[in-house]
Structures are given as structure tokens and as C-alpha cells.
Amino acid sequence: MGRSVLGAITVPGRPGEVATARRFVAKALSGRPEADTAVLLTSEAVTNSVVHTDSTMVTVVVFETSTGVRIEVTDEGGDTLPTMYDGYELREGRRGVFLIEELSAACGLRRHEDGLTFWFEL
């Protein structure tokens, strides 16, 4: 898969830093039609990292691909994996992965020695 890095940022794993990640993606994708969706989904993915892991740092990388963009959010991993809930569990705290799965062209995750990377493509 041919892709080039449009930008990368590492932020502290704190709730207040989710906004920093959003602003970074908005700037990296400024003027692109998928920018608003990318910002929303990045917000959900980084929030999952901050809320569901004890990660001290979270890294966001934005790639341009031959078909659009790919965003990877890497944290130090946790005890659980991001999962979509069955049914229509859209209340607070249960909608992030649902939104990513529904609004992205593809998404997934991979464990590695440094933690977990959750990615999505638009």
C-alpha cells in the first residue's frame, strides 16, 4: 500500500489532550473533504486511548494513501481491546468504535511490542 506521512504528533495520555489531537488532524487535512470526519473519528480513537488505557503518551499519525487518508492512533495498550457493542448502544462511552466502524472505509487494530495501534481509513 503506497502511503506518505502527512504528519505525526505525540500527546500526553490525558483527557485535555484529545483537543490537541483534533486540532492537529484538522490542520494536517485542511481543505480535504474527509477532514471533518477524520477529526471526529480521531477524537473518538484518542478518547478511547486516554480513557481505557494507562498510557502516558498517545501518538497520532496521518497518512495520505492512494485512495484517501489513513489515521493511526497508538497507545501503550490496556487490558481490553476496542470492541463494538451489539445492538444500538450509543449512549456516552459506547459509541466511539461504532462511529469509527460506521463512518470509515476500513478500520482495525494491531498489537505490537510497544502497545496497540487502532487505525481507520477514509
Please write the tens of the pLDDT for every residue from 96-111.
Answer: 788 899 999 999 999 9
- Residue type for position 19: A
Distances (CA, A) of 111 to 28, 34, 72, 78, 116: 26, 27, 12, 10, 5
Quick one: pLDDT at residue 96?
Answer: 77
- Give one word for 73, left, alpha or beta, with left for phi > 0 and alpha for psi -120 to 50: beta
Determine the Cα–Cα distance for residues 12 and 35; give it in Å rounded to an integer: 23
Instruction: Give me the percent of the chain exceeding a pLDDT of 90.
Output: 70
Q: What is the pTM of this model?
A: 0.87
Determine the Cα–Cα distance for residues 67 and 3; give it in Å rounded to an integer: 9
Chain segment 26-71, per-residue pLDDT in tens: 999 999 999 999 999 999 999 999 988 999 999 999 999 999 999 9
Chain segment 111-121, per-residue pLDDT in tens: 988 899 999 99
